[in-house]
Structure formats: structure tokens, C-alpha cells
Amino acid sequence: MLPSERAPLPSDPSGVNAIQTEPHHYKHGALECEGYLAYDGATYAKRPGILIIHDAPGQNPFVRRRAVLLARLGYAALVLDLYGGGKLAKDAAEADALSGGLLAEPEQLRERAKAGLDSLRTVRCAESRSTAVIGYGFGGSAALEMARAGHDLRGVASFHGPLASRRPAEPGAVKGRVLVLHGADDARVPPAQVQAFQDEMRRAGADWQMSVYGGAASGFTNPESGAAYSEAADRRSWQALKDFFTEIF
């Protein structure tokens, strides 16, 4: 577990580095969404904005803690709400149904994620043209869909996300750099899917990189995923993300 993940979520502005967290309301059409915004309130300076896309269960404490970690690194971090109303799945079956419905409709998934991105760009402490998107599991797949859609992003990073898409990237479409952090033992992403993704990125002419962690399975970043959690892969992939952000920002 990352050392700073042991700390509880801040409950007031007097916490570590004056990190502030607050609900962030926005809409996608008629859908009322409730994101989770984290930033360092000790400074009024604008900073790069990071959109975080949650895994299949929804906006859980794990992904909120990641927003706080990014705020401590000097970013404005917004966890979006893909399901509306801050909904959390009650069990794995509901999580699969919610995420599967969006994965089956990539255009809807892209537009719903874009609503979160557009809202992040209105946040007073975020630089509107200096943004990146990261995602975990299902959220990693959604982040890659945003890259494929050609959004104006500095970069996109996927943690143990599926790599296949019903709408592969067209040549020249991917504008931001792409980082994929993948577990070598992820049963949901077989070697053929990894190869197909790499071929897709080559055809698209994307600036991409992939780190593969031996012994790591799906969910390797989340301590709540039980045996799938890998402290080494979690630590190494987080460092890879920090290095990636240093490069793109």
C-alpha cells in the first residue's frame, strides 16, 4: 500500500497540505452527476487538472483517495460520476451491468466522460488547457476511449483497464500521450488483446508506452481487491504515473 494511502480522507481544510475536498455537481444532458473534487487550498494558483474515471463499482473510497494523493502532488483532481447521482453498485453483478452497458455504447461512454472533462475545465483552480485523464479498471478503458476520441489532452493513463474497443483509434486521432499500466497476469486482458492494442496505437501514430508488471492481475492497485492487490505493482505504477505527469506537464 502506498504510504500516503494509510491516511484518512481529509475532512476539513486544515488537513495535510490544506487539501480540500468537496462535491462537484455537473450534468450530462438530463443526468445529474456528482463528482468529487480534491485540491490544495493553500494556493490560488491554477494547476493542471486530472480527471479520474472510477472502476465498475462507481465512485468508491479508493478512487477518492487517489484524488487526494494527486491533490497533494499539486494537481486539481476530479473523480467523475459515470452513473449519475454518485451511484455505487450494490454488488459485482450490478457493477458489471452498469459498466457493461456503457462499454457496449462507446459513443455514450465517451460523451459522458467528456461531460466530466468539460466540467473539470471550469474549476477555478484548474488550468483549462492543461489536463489529463486517468482511470482504473473499467475507468482505464474509458480513459483510453477519450484518447481514441481525439480530445485535446496532455495525456491519458490506464491502470489495469481492458484494452479492446468497438471504435479503434483512427490514424492521427490520438492527440495526447498514452500510458498503459498493465498486469501480466490479468485474465481479462489476454496477450492477443495486448498485441491488438499495440497495433492499434501504431496505426494511429500515437505517442504511447506500456509498463507490464509481472505477477500482477486485474485490480493490482486497490488494497480492497484482496489477493489481486500487489504492493510492488501499485508502488511502481504510481511512480510511473508521476514520471508521466512530469513529462507531459
| CATH code of the domain containing 108 | 3.40.50.1820
Residue with cell 501499485: 234
User: What average pLDDT does range 95-116 have in this prediction?
Assistant: 94
Residue 124 is assigned to a structural domain of this protein: yes
Residue 6 pLDDT class (50, 70, 90 cuts): low
Report the mean per-residue pLDDT for the chain: 93
* pLDDT at 179 > cutoff 50: yes
- The verdict on residue 102 lying in a domain is yes
Q: pLDDT confidence of 226, banded at 50, 70, 90?
A: confident
Rounded to two decimals, the pTM is: 0.93
For residue 14, pLDDT beyond 70: no
CA–CA gap between residue 48 and residue 125 (Å, rounded): 9
C-alpha cell at 122: 471550469
pLDDT at 13: 40
Asked if the model's pLDDT at residue 16 lies above 70, the reply is no
Q: Decide if 1 is inside a domain.
A: no
What's the domain count of the chain? 1
Q: Which of 210, 203, 199 is nearest to 177 (CA)?
A: 210
Residue 2 lies in a domain: no
* Domain that includes residue 51, residue range: 11-248
Q: Is residue 149 part of a domain?
A: yes
User: Residue 109 in contact with residue 118, Cβ under 8 Å?
Assistant: no
Task: For residue 111, tell me if it sits in a domain.
Answer: yes
Cα–chain-centroid distance for residue 11? Answer: 23
Where do we find the cell 501480466?
184
Percent of the chain with pLDDT over 70: 93
Residue 128 forms part of a structural domain: yes
| Residue 6 lies inside a defined structural domain of this protein | no
For range 134-162, the mean pLDDT: 97
Model confidence over 34-53: pLDDT tens digits?
Answer: 999 999 999 889 999 999 99
Residue 12 has pLDDT above 90, yes or no: no
Burial of 80 (0-12, 13-18, 19+ CB in 10 A): buried
